[in-house]
Chain A
C-alpha cells in the first residue's frame, strides 16, 4: 500500500493549458506539502497545509493553486502553464508541522510543458 501517492507520474502538456496533480496519503498525517524540484535538483517548498488549513504559501505565481478537501488529500492546480513550470513536483506529508518530523514523499510528478 503506497503511503503517499501522486497522480499522474508523468504529465506532458502544451503551454497555456490548465492541469492538476493529485496527492493522497494514507498515513494519517496532519500536514501535507508541495515541493518543486528544478532541473538542477534544487528543492523548493511551495505550499503546506495542516488539517486542511494553508500554513505555508511561498512566493509562487498565483497560477498555482493548492486545494485540500480533507487532510488526506492535497491537490495542485496550475493554470496557463508556462515553459518554466517544467519540473518535478513532489507531494509530501508529515505527522505534524513541527520541526521534529521527517517527511514521507510521493514518487513525484514530472511535468513537461512544450
Chain B
C-alpha cells in the first residue's frame, strides 16, 4: 500500500513568491523520519530537509521549511522566495523504524515545480 502521497503532479510559481508542495504519509510506527529531495533536470538527487517524528519544531534549511502536522500526517515543503533554479522535481520520502519498515526509505511520486520569470 502506498504510504507517501504527493497529490500535485505539477505546480507553477512566480519567481520570488513562496510555494507549498504537499505531502501526506501513512504509518503506524511512532518513530519515523520525513525527508524532501530535489531532482533537477540534470538528474541528480539532492537531500533538502529532514523532520523527525518526535521533533517539536518544524525543520528549516535556508529557504526551505517543512510544515509538519503530525495529527494530519502531513509534511509539506515550503520554498520561500522562489528562484528559477528551484525548477525541478521534488520528492517527499519517509523512513520508518526497523520493526515496521526495516529502515527502508520510500518515496512519493514527486511534484514537478516550474518557476516562472
Contacts and interface: CB of A to CB of B under 8 A. Distances in A.
Contacts of A107: 43-44
A43 interface: yes
Interface string B17-42: 00000000000000111010101000
Interface residues of A, number: 26
Nearest to A33: B105
Interface of B: 31-33, 35, 37, 39, 43-47, 50, 52, 89, 91, 95-98, 102-107, 109-110
A11 B106 CA distance: 26
Interface string A33-75: 1000000111111001000000110100000000000000000
Contacts of A56: 102-104
B106 A99 contact: no
A92 B48 CA distance: 15
A88 interface: yes
Contact of B107 (A43, A48, A98): A43
Contacts of A103: 35, 37, 45, 47, 105
B107 A42 contact: yes
